Structure formats: structure tokens, C-alpha cells
């Protein structure tokens, strides 16, 4: 029976807007998601994160559920607007106290806190007054916000993630407009991404220069799905590689290599912003680990001039810039998100990252699946989710055995929550939450995950 290393990090993850609720409590300011959810037609059934899982009031109870599961680490995000209601200026001490209490409660339960500084819920004032991630002032605002968090929580939190899934912020928020702030453009995503990368780097330097005495680590989390060539043709192999570079190398290459991928510079021309020499130096090396959110795999093929309306925006970049068609193998099983369950794609992606970026420490900061859970006598028949976790953990084991420096795994998500544009319809949680009564109910996957991490084995 294969086992994970003794020091392997086992955890679950959430984000502030998806679970906290308390959207206007104790001085918190509005975020772009608070506003976006009020626009008719944007969110399934018009649902919001106003209450969500009520974690703001029930975090102690939630942390006890984590303790019962035996998780050793918990990745959560801080709501920027709860700390700085307008994104800048006066600190909201009630917000500071909330997160301080969460951290203390986690440490009391012997759970290591992993803080994500930004998981998409930008303070609304920064969007309205400074153009959000399109405006250059956001770089300094983010660094100033990060400094406050380092000052207030850094003595107890040693693990930091600056940004979660910048690709989603750029493409879904500023390209397709299906996520907040809801803009549609074929150029704004590249400008937003540029500022996200610079903001990340500036925050990391703030930490390294002024808070290194805490002995912590800091990095960025990027999302990436594996791209498997549709055929063995050189064109399809090149398309798959190009798709990966437009997806994750867009954000990782500047950090690990000092600039954007050549293929992006060649194809985008003036639409891709340029880093100055000083900025390249500032950005390069600003990650102590490679944070990876991974969920699925798609087939990639060269587009030979055949327009596909449904593929105007590909999952991994703007497809007219990539010239890549994406599809699924009909034999692959899919989740409720229509994401294919392809564990070997996870192994291949881990190897690809290790090869391109000189075998860095990798932490899977999200991996999970959504299925149509039904509660029966206080339990969920959760076999599909159990199979998903078991096979993906086996894929992780394989990569480790083959030399990939995978150091940790966070299951998405700790409990069912507000799943962005899908509202509460798509359930990813290890714990089931009845949103009418806000009653927590364990499901079998929570118990299985507890057994798996206690034995450090995917073969439970």
C-alpha cells in the first residue's frame, strides 16, 4: 500500500464570500460580488452570499467539524472589504478581530491556518473609484492591504497565498463577464492580469522585506486543467502546449522565468502589456511554492480556421488568441459542472509543471468535484465523490513516486457553499449544509477523507 510522506500537508479549503455571510455586519464594506449578485440573471435563482454558510457567526462550530475530520491545515480567504471597507484608508477593527479569532480557534484545534489574501471579492469602492484590476493604483492598494494582514496575523499564520486563480479574475471577470465585475472584452483580461501579477510581487516583497522574521512562506495559487492533444499530430501537440501556456504560464512564467511566455508575446502583440526591466526583477522568484488548483482535463486541437461559436472564449484563455479547440472524450465521466474526471491528467500536469519550472515544491490548494447530493436519513450516498478523491489522490501518489515534489493537498471544499454564478446548486463540500436551516450534516466523504489523511493513504 503506497503512502504519502509523513510531513505531507492535508487540508480543506474555502473562500470568504462563499461561506462567511455577514455581508454587511460590523463595519464590512460591499464587495464586487455583493453588487454582482443583485444583477438579475447573473446568479442561479438570484441567490447571494449574504448569509451563505453563516461562518461569520458559526466559525467555532465549523472548526470543530474540521477537528473531528482530523485535517491538519485549513485554507481560507480574508475578505478585503471586511478589513478595509473601501479597500483603503481606515482599518475596520471588527474585521481584524473576526479573523484573529478564527486563527486562534484553528491553532487551538491544532489546525494550521493558510491564508489567501484575495479570492475574488474586491471591495466595491476600488472597482467604482479606481477601475478595479484595470487601474494601476490597485497594485499599491493590494500591497498596503497585505501589509495590514501580515502585521496583524503574521505572528500566528506562517502560510500565505496572495491571489487565488488570477486566470478566473481576468478571463471570467474582465473577458466573459460571467463573474464579477461582469466586464466583456478581448483586451482587458491581459491588463487585469498584468496588474494582478505586479500586485502579487509587491505584496511578496513586503512580506520578505519586513516580516521574514515570522519564518513563513508565501506564494500564488493558479488554476490549470490538463490539456491532452486530441491526436498525435504535431499541430495538436503544439495546440495543447499553447493552451497550457495561455492558461497557467501566463501567470507562472513571470514568477519563475521573468516574463510572459514567448507564444503569448508573439500572438498578442501590443495587446499584451510589457514589464519594465525593474518589474521583471521584482516579479521573478516571488513564490516559495507552486500553488495549484486542479479539477479536470480537456482535449486540445489546432483550429484550422473552423469557427466555433461556443468556443469564442476557451477555458484557458481567449481562444481566438490561442487558435485552439477544446473538447471532451465521450467516454469520460463528468461531474455536475460537466468537468471530466480524468485522474491521469493530474499526474501529467504535475510532471509538466515540474519540468517547466525546475521541479518546485507544489501544493494542490484545491481539488474536488460537484455532484447532485441528496440527503437521506441524515446521510448522502456519496460514492462518486469518494471515487473521485481516491483516484485523484492515487494520481498524486504516482507523481510523488516519480519524483514530483508535491508537498500538500487541500480538498475543495470543506462544506457546500455559494458556488458563484451557480448559486447553491453545485455542491463541492465534504460536509453537507442544508441552506434552509443552516444545519451541518456529515456526509460519507467527510468520514472517508478523515480516514485517508489519518493513515496518509489513498488506498483506504
User: In the chain, where are the structural domains located?
Assistant: 9-455
Task: Tell me the mean pLDDT in the region 119-146.
Answer: 98
pLDDT digits (tens, 9 = 90+) for 164-207: 999 999 999 999 999 999 999 999 999 999 999 999 999 999 99
Q: How confident is the model at residue 459 (pLDDT cuts 50, 70, 90)?
A: low
Homologous superfamily of domain range 9-455: Glycosidases (3.20.20.80)
Instruction: Convert the pLDDT of each residue in 252-266 to its tens digit.
Output: 999 999 999 999 999
Catalytic residue status for 105: no
Closest CA to 255 of 287, 299, 298: 287
Per-state percent for the chain, helix, strand, coil, to nearest 5: 45, 15, 40
Q: Is the pLDDT of residue 282 over 50?
A: yes
Confidence of residue 437 (pLDDT cuts 50, 70, 90): confident
Instruction: Answer whether 431's CB lies under 8 Å from 440's CB.
Output: yes
Residue 408 pLDDT grade (very low, low, confident, very high; cuts 50, 70, 90): very high
Judge contact between 136 and 71, C-beta under 8 A: no
**Per-residue pLDDT, 339:** 98
pLDDT value of residue 315: 43
Indicate the pLDDT class of residue 230, thresholds 50, 70 and 90: very high
Q: Hey, is 145 helix, strand or coil?
A: helix
pLDDT reported for residue 144? 98
* Set 105, 228, 279, 366: catalytic member: 366
Q: Residue 76 carries which DSSP code? A: E
Residue of 20, 165, 188, 279 marked active site:
165
165 is catalytic: yes
pLDDT, tens digit (0-9, with 9 covering 90-100), for 81-119: 999 999 999 999 999 999 999 999 999 999 999 999 999
Grid coordinates 497550457 are at which residue? 244
CA distance 370 to 51: 21
Q: Which residues contact 83 (CB under 8 A, 6 or more apart)?
A: 91, 92, 95, 96, 99, 145, 148, 149
**Secondary structure string (H, E, C) spanning 364-425:** EEEECCCCCCCEECCEECCHHHHHHHHHHHHHHHHHHHCCCCEEEEEEECCECCCCHHHCCC
The pLDDT value recorded for residue 316 is 46
What band does 313 get if pLDDT is binned at 50, 70 and 90? very low
Per-residue pLDDT averaged across 120-138, rounded? 98
Mean pLDDT of 272-294: 98
Cβ partners under 8 Å of residue 393, min gap 6: 409, 452, 458
Amino acid at each position: 500500500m503506497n503512502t504519502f510522506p509523513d510531513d505531507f500537508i492535508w487540508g480543506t479549503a474555502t473562500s470568504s464570500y462563499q461561506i462567511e455571510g455577514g455581508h454587511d455586519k460590523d463595519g464590512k464594506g460591499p464587495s464586487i460580488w455583493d453588487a454582482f449578485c443583485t444583477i438579475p440573471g447573473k446568479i442561479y435563482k438570484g441567490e447571494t452570499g449574504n448569509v451563505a454558510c453563516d461562518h461569520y457567526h458559526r466559525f467555532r462550530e465549523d472548526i470543530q467539524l474540521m477537528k473531528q475530520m482530523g485535517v491538519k491545515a485549513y485554507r481560507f480567504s480574508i475578505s478585503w472589504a471586511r478589513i478595509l471597507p473601501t479597500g483603503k484608508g481606515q482599518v475596520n477593527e471588527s474585521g481584524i478581530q473576526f479573523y484573529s479569532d478564527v486563527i486562534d480557534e484553528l491553532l487551538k484545534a491544532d489546525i494550521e491556518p493558510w491564508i489567501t489574501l484575495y479570492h475574488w471579492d474586491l471591495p466595491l469602492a476600488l472597482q467604482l473609484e479606481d477601475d478595479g484590476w484595470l487601474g494601476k493604483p490597485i497594485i499599491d492598494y493590494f500591497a498596503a492591504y497585505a501589509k495590514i494582514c501580515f502585521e496583524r496575523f503574521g505572528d500566528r499564520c506562517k502560510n500565505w497565498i496572495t491571489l487565488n486563480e488570477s486566470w478566473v479574475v481576468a478571463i471570467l471577470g474582465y473577458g466573459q463577464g460571467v463573474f464579477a465585475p461582469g466586464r466583456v472584452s478581448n483586451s482587458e483580461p491581459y491588463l487585469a492580469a498584468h496588474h494582478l501579477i505586479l500586485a502579487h510581487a509587491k505584496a511578496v516583497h513586503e512580506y520578505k522585506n519586513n516580516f521574514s522574521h515570522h519564518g513563513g512562506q508565501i506564494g500564488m495559487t493558479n488554476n490549470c486543467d490538463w490539456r491532452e492533444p486530441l491526436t498525435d499530430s504535431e499541430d495538436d501537440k503544439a495546440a495543447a502546449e499553447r493552451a497550457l501556456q495561455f492558461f497557467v504560464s501566463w501567470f507562472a512564467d513571470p514568477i519563475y522565468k521573468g516574463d510572459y511566455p514567448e507564444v503569448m508575446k508573439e500572438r498578442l502583440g501590443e495587446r499584451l502589456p510589457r514589464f519594465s526591466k525593474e518589474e521583471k526583477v521584482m516579479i521573478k522568484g516571488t513564490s516559495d511554492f507552486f500553488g495549484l488548483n486542479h479539477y479536470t482535463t480537456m482535449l486540445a486541437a489546432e483550429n484550422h480556421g473552423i469557427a466555433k461559436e461556443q468556443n469564442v472564449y476557451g477555458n484557458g484563455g481567449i481562444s481566438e488568441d490561442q487558435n485552439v479547440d477544446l473538447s471532451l472524450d465521450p467516454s469520460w465521466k463528468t461531474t455536475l459542472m460537466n468537468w471530466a474526471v480524468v485522474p491521469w491528467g493530474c499526474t501529467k500536469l504535475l510532471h509538466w509543471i515540474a519540468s517547466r519550472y525546475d521541479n518546485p515544491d507544489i501544493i494542490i490548494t484545491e481539488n474536488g468535484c460537484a455532484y447532485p447530493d441528496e440527503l437521506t436519513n441524515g446521510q448522502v450516498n456519496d460514492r462518486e465523490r469518494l471515487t473521485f478523491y481516491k483516484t485523484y489522490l492515487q494520481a498524486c501518489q504516482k507523481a510523488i513516486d516519480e519524483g514530483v515534489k508535491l508537498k500538500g493537498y487541500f480538498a475543495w471544499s470543506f462544506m457546500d457553499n455559494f458556488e458563484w454564478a451557480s448559486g447553491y446548486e453545485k455542491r463541492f463540500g465534504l460536509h453537507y449544509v442544508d441552506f434552509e436551516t443552516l444545519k451541518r450534516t456529515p456526509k460519507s466523504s467527510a468520514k472517508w477523507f478523515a480516514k485517508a489523511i489519518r493513515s496518509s493513504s489513498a488506498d483506504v
